[in-house]
Structure 1
Amino acid sequence: MEETWRWFGPLDDIRLEEIRQTGATGIVTALHEIPYGEAWPEDAIRARQAMIEAAGLRWSVVESLPVHEDVKRGTGDLPRIFANYRESLRNLGRCGISTVCYNFMPVLDWTRTDLAYRMKTGALALRFDAVRQAAFDVLMLQRLGAEADHRPDVLAAAREWFAQSTETDRDTLLSSIMAGLPGAFDRYDVPGLRQMLESYAGIDAAALKANLARFLREVVPAAEEAGIAMCMHPDDPPRPILGLPRIVSNRQDLADLVAMVPSRSNGITFCTGSLGAGVANDLPAMAREFAPHVAFLHLRNVTKEPDGSFHEADHLGGDVDMPAVIAAFLDEEKRRGEEIPFRPDHGHVLLSDAGRKTHPGYTLVGRLRGLAELRGVIAGLRHRAPV
Structure 2
Amino acid sequence: MKQTWRWFGPKDPVTVDDMLQAGVQGVVSALHHVPTGQLWTPEDIATRQRQIATMADGTPSGLGWDVVESLPVSEAIKTQTGDWRAHLATWKDSMVNLSRAGIEVICYNFMPVLDWTRTDLAHRLPTGATCMRFDLIDFAAFDIHILNRAGAAEDYPADLVAEAKARFAAMPDTRRAELAKNVVFGLPGAAENFTLQDVRDHLDRYQGITPDRLRAHLVDFLSEVAPLAQDLGLRLCCHPDDPPFALLGLPRVMSTEADYTTILQAVDLPANGITLCTGSLGARPDNDLPGMMRRLGDRVHFLHLRNVAMDQPTIPASFHEVMHLEGGTDMVAMIAAILAEERRRKAAGRTDPSIPMRPDHGLDILDDLKRKGQPGYPAIGRLRGLAELRGIMTALDHPAVVAG
TM-score relative to the length of structure 2: 0.93
1:333 maps onto 2:339 in alignment: no
1:317 maps onto 2:326 in alignment: yes
Letter of the 1:7 counterpart:
W
Q: Cα offset for 1:385? A: 4.7
| Range with greater deviation from structure 2 (320-329 or 264-273) | 320-329
Partners of 2:222 and 2:344 in 1: CA distance: 27
1:169 maps onto 2:175 in alignment: yes
Partners of 1:77 and 1:196 in 2: CA distance: 15
Secondary structure at the aligned position of 1:326 is classed as: helix
Q: Cα offset for 1:168? A: 0.6
The residue that corresponds to 2:57 in the other structure is none
Q: Cα offset for 1:314? A: 0.9
Q: Cα offset for 1:41? A: 1.0
Letter of the 1:64 counterpart:
S
Q: Does structure 1 conserve the Cα–Cα contact (< 8 Å) formed by 2:307 and 2:327?
A: yes
Partners of 1:50 and 1:336 in 2: CA distance: 31
The residue that corresponds to 1:374 in the other structure is 389
| Range with greater deviation from structure 2 (335-344 or 230-239) | 335-344
Letter of the 1:311 counterpart:
H
Partners of 1:76 and 1:194 in 2: CA distance: 17
| Range with greater deviation from structure 2 (267-276 or 283-292) | 283-292
Letter of the 2:327 counterpart:
G
Matches within 5 A, 1:178-257: 178-257=184-263
Matches within 5 A, 1:33-52: 33-52=33-52
Q: Does structure 2 conserve the Cα–Cα contact (< 8 Å) formed by 1:179 and 1:360?
A: no
Letter of the 1:271 counterpart:
C
Q: Does structure 1 conserve the Cα–Cα contact (< 8 Å) formed by 2:34 and 2:191?
A: no
**How big is the alpha-carbon RMSD for the aligned residues of Structure 1 and Structure 2?**
1.2
Q: Does structure 1 conserve the Cα–Cα contact (< 8 Å) formed by 2:185 and 2:194?
A: no
Letter of the 1:201 counterpart:
Q
Secondary structure at the aligned position of 2:53 is classed as: helix
Partners of 2:300 and 2:157 in 1: CA distance: 35
Partners of 1:3 and 1:310 in 2: CA distance: 27
Q: Deviations over 1:297-356 (max 9, x none)?
A: 000001112261000011000011111111111111111122100000001010101121
Q: Cα offset for 1:103? A: 0.2
TM-score relative to the length of structure 1: 0.97
Q: Deviations over 1:34-66 (max 9, x none)?
A: 111112111221121122123221111000000
**82, 97, 105: which one aligns with 2:88:** 82
Matches within 5 A, 1:63-82: 63-82=69-88
Partners of 1:369 and 1:152 in 2: CA distance: 41
Q: Does structure 2 conserve the Cα–Cα contact (< 8 Å) formed by 1:112 and 1:180?
A: no
Partners of 1:5 and 1:355 in 2: CA distance: 21
Secondary structure at the aligned position of 2:106 is classed as: strand
Letter of the 1:322 counterpart:
M
1:28 maps onto 2:28 in alignment: yes
Letter of the 2:5 counterpart:
W
The residue that corresponds to 1:266 in the other structure is 272
Partners of 2:232 and 2:96 in 1: CA distance: 5
Secondary structure at the aligned position of 1:320 is classed as: coil
Partners of 2:273 and 2:241 in 1: CA distance: 15
Letter of the 2:13 counterpart:
D
Partners of 2:135 and 2:85 in 1: CA distance: 40
The residue that corresponds to 1:12 in the other structure is 12
Matches within 5 A, 1:125-136: 125-136=131-142
Q: Does structure 1 conserve the Cα–Cα contact (< 8 Å) formed by 2:5 and 2:358?
A: yes
Q: Cα offset for 1:114? A: 0.7
Identity of aligned residues (%): 49
Q: Does structure 1 conserve the Cα–Cα contact (< 8 Å) formed by 2:10 and 2:51?
A: no
Secondary structure at the aligned position of 1:298 is classed as: strand
| Range with greater deviation from structure 2 (284-293 or 295-304) | 284-293
Letter of the 2:107 counterpart:
C
Q: Where in structure 1 are there 5+ consecutive unaligned residues?
A: none
Q: Cα offset for 1:266? A: 0.4
Partners of 1:47 and 1:189 in 2: CA distance: 31
